[in-house]
Structure 1
Amino acid sequence: MNETIVCVVGNVATQPLYRELAAGPSARFRLAVTARYWDREKSAWTDGHTNFFTVWANRQLAVNVAACVEVGQPVVVQGRLKVRTEAREGQQQWASADIDAVAIGHDLSRGTALFQRAAKPEGTPVAARPEPNWETPPQAGPQDGPPAQRSLEAVAVT
């Protein structure tokens, strides 16, 4: 309920690792997010600090990530932020920032992508829905039509 939802834009830093688990498919990869700022002294954009996140995807999202996400690609990731700290015997304590992804997509401000709908799993019934009628039905009367035409019709009638 009180989860931290984040949306981050960055580059895929590691090849997605895909696994079939008892709970279903799972995939993970590292995401590099670098802040950029305008350096007035140099009159140029400069890279700031880089944050690394481990992005976790499950179920159909994991299957799709494994099929189309590659190292170096710019992506947008939305999901729940989880910061973990762990201390192992004989080692220094470390922290990890993980994102349990809800949605992952390519950053279209930096390139193009071709969307392809994933195939439905076998045995899932597909309900046939009729195509909606997108056309606006015509209405009769002088009050309809373009404003210029309405004013000419009103003048012609009087």
Structure 2
Amino acid sequence: MAGDTIITVVGNLTADPELRYTPNGFAVANFTIASTPRTFDRQANEWKDGEALFLRASVWREHAENVAATLTKGQRVIAQGKLKQRSYESREGEKRTAFELDVDEIGPALRYSTAQVTRSSAGGGGGAVGGGQQRQPQQQSQPVQQQRPQAEEPWGGQQSGGGGGYGSGGWAAPGAGPSGGFDDEPPF
């Protein structure tokens, strides 16, 4: 929406995402991202950590289920979304303000690790569920796993894993789309 403050945060998860369901059956995952700035101190000739920013974040529906199944405590992530401000009164009657991130996109940061991405079986590529439909929790979602990569061919095919190139990695082989035609997804 116009006027929303969109930010990107890179940091580490302070705990595993907490997955809950609303009374209407919608999934929501809540978690905290700790982002610590680092600066180089030329006099001491070393890197120094600044003050950490702890930002609460939430993500909804199937996206929440994928996040809860994939991301874990300590993992470095990149998250983008709308920054929201919420005012409330504490139990002691003090007025407080909290900032939260309504996540649009999130994934593991790949600067210091690798990941193998697997599409969820219910993945619709488009995002939100239309027409007021509710999506039931998906158990088939497979998490992103951080691991050392095996020898790979272009577009995710592994040399040791049977098939290659187009035949693996979640991409359809040419001519093997759902209706026998080509898949609309590119091989990269």
TM-score between the two structures when normalised by the length of structure 1: 0.74
Counterpart AA for 1:3? D
Q: Percent identity?
A: 31
Greater fraction strand? 1
More helix by share: 1
What is the correspondence of 1:5-154 to structure 2 with a 5 Å cutoff?
A: 5-21=6-22, 22=24, 24-120=26-122, 128=179, 130-131=181-182
**Shift in CA distance, 89/120, structure 1 to aligned 2, threshold 3 Å:** closer
- CA distance in structure 2 between the partners assigned to 1:100 and 1:28 by the alignment: 10
TM-score (norm 2): 0.63
Q: Which has the larger radius of gyration?
A: 1
The structural deviation recorded for 1:95 is 2.5
Higher relative contact order (CA 8 A, sep 6+): 1
Aligned CA distance change for structure 1 residues 117 and 90 (closer, same or farther; 3 Å): same
CA drift of 1:88 comes to: 2.2
Structure 2 distance, partners of 1:35, 1:67, is 28
Q: Distance in 1 between matches of 2:105 and 2:179?
A: 27
SS at match of 1:83: strand
Contact 1:52–1:97 under 8 Å retained in 2: no
- Two-structure CA RMSD over aligned residues (Å): 2.2
Question: Which amino acid letter does the alignment assign opposite residue 4 of structure 2?
Answer: E
Q: Structure 2: 5+ residue runs without aligned partners?
A: 124-134, 136-176
* Aligned-partner Cα distance in 2 for 1:42–1:117: 47
Counterparts in 2 of 1:47 and 1:129: CA distance versus 1, 3 Å:
farther
Q: Shift in Å at residue 127 of structure 1?
A: 5.6
How many corresponding residue pairs? 130
Unaligned runs of 5+ in 1: 135-158
Instruction: State the secondary structure of the residue aligned to 2:51.
Output: strand
Q: Secondary structure at the residue paired with 1:100?
A: strand
